Amino acid sequence: MINFDDFQKLDIRVGTIVDAEPVPETDKLLKLTVDLNKETRTLVAGIGDVYQPEDIKGKQVPILTNLEPRTIRGIESRGMILAVDMNNDIALLHPDKKVVNGSKIR
C-alpha cells in the first residue's frame, strides 16, 4: 500500500508514439519515440511480442515520466509505458478521444 502523497509523486502523462522499432537481438523489446508535447523521449518497452511497430505508431498512451532513466540494451529509456498485463498478454491503454500530448493523468 502507498499513501496518497506517494501517489501524487507519480507524473503520468499522455504521449503519442511517433516511431517504434524492434531492439536488435531481442524477442519483445521495442524502442519507442514518444511525443510528450514539450519534449520527445525514447523508451524501451517489452511489448514487441504482442504489437508490431507499424501498428502502434500514432497511438496515444500513458507514460510514467518521472521514473529514473535506465539503460536497456544500450538504449537509455526515459520513462515507462503503462499497459495492462493479463498473464503476459499485454494490452495498451488509450484515451477514448484525442488529447493534447503531455496532458497529466490524475
Alpha-carbon span 26 to 35, nearest angstrom: 24
Per-residue pLDDT at 100: 97
CB 94 within 8 A of CB 60: yes
Q: Using 50, 70 and 90 to split pLDDT, how confident is the model at 47?
A: very high
| Per-domain boundaries in the chain | 11-92
pLDDT tens digits, one per residue of 1-29: 999 999 999 999 999 999 999 999 999 99
Give the integer Cα–Cα distance in Å for 33 and 76: 12
Structure confidence by residue, pLDDT tens digits, 51-74: 999 999 999 999 999 999 999 999
For 11-92, the fitting CATH number among 3.40.630.10, 1.10.275.10, 3.60.20.10, 2.40.50.140 is 2.40.50.140
Contact 12, 104 (CB under 8 A): yes
Q: Which residues contact 14 (CB under 8 A, 6 or more apart)?
A: 60, 61, 62, 63, 95, 99, 100, 101, 102, 103, 105
The Cα 101–Cα 20 span in angstroms is: 17
Res. 106: pLDDT tops 90: no
| Cβ neighbours for 17, distance < 8 A, ≥ 6 positions apart | 32, 33, 34, 56, 57, 58, 59, 60, 61
